[in-house]
Amino acid sequence: MNMEIEDIRGTFKPETIPKETTGDINDYEEALHVLMKFVGYMSSSLEQVSGRGANAIVYQAGKRMGHDAGKMVEKTDDLEKAMNELSEILGIEFVFEMWKPSGQEDYTIEKGDETIVKLLFMDCVVRQTLRRTGLPQKGPLCYLLYGYMVGAVEEVMSIKGKLDIDHVGSNACLKTLTIKWGGK
């Protein structure tokens, strides 16, 4: 393959914070694909070495990310508000909405000290990575998103949360978020 690599020359002072990336959309695309492949290989190797323990490791990583991200938004005990805030911090790479079957009246179901809500993840960069690397859904990488979501919910609402997968598809995945009231 004949690839031309542009040599970018300039001055760089230690105190300078560059405003420009010096890259264009093709560079970003290239970087994204390299990262997707890298993460995909890392996930399958982790699974090979640690078996089901891989899920726990990736879940913890996601949870830490979620807690850090959750610190950036206002705390609330209003589930719908929390979902909106979370959707903002998760950004356009994790587009989700609350979902309910047509026969169910409200999005949330109260069960003792628990509130249950179904979330439909439409855009998900984890799913993109799995497709890029030919890996099945519901594997260790999906635990990154579980952890991320749970960590962020716990941080924003100061409660204990759990996310279970109901169904996966190539275009959207349905998950159940269970919130346990009464603090951590």
Nearer to another protein, 11 or 171 (CB): 171
| Residue among 129 and 159 whose Cβ is closer to another protein | 129
Under rule CB under 8 A, residue 123 binds another protein: yes
Q: What is the CA radius of gyration of the chain?
A: 19
Cβ atoms of residues 143 and 58 within 8 Å: yes
The smaller minimum CB distance to another protein, of residues 101 and 182, is found at: 101
Burial class (CB in 10 A: 0-12, 13-18, 19+), 78: exposed
Task: Write down the least CB distance from residue 154 to another protein, Å.
Answer: 26
Q: Could you report how far apart the first and last alpha carbons of the chain are, in Å?
A: 56
Q: Using the rule CB under 8 A, is 167 a contact of another protein?
A: yes
179 CB burial (10 A radius; 0-12, 13-18, 19+) = buried
The residue within the footprint of another protein, chosen from 132, 138, 162, 180 (CB under 8 A), is 132
**65-104 binders of another protein (CB under 8 A):** 95, 99, 101-102
Helix, strand or coil for residue 75?
coil
Q: Between 33 and 75, whose beta carbon lies closer to another protein? A: 33
Min dist CB 172 to another protein, Å, is: 4
The separation between CA 171 and the C-alpha centre of its own chain, rounded to angstroms, equals 16
CA nearest neighbour of 138 among 43, 19, 28, 64: 43
Interface residue list for another protein (CB under 8 A): 29, 32-33, 36, 95, 99, 101-102, 120, 122-125, 127-129, 131-132, 166-174
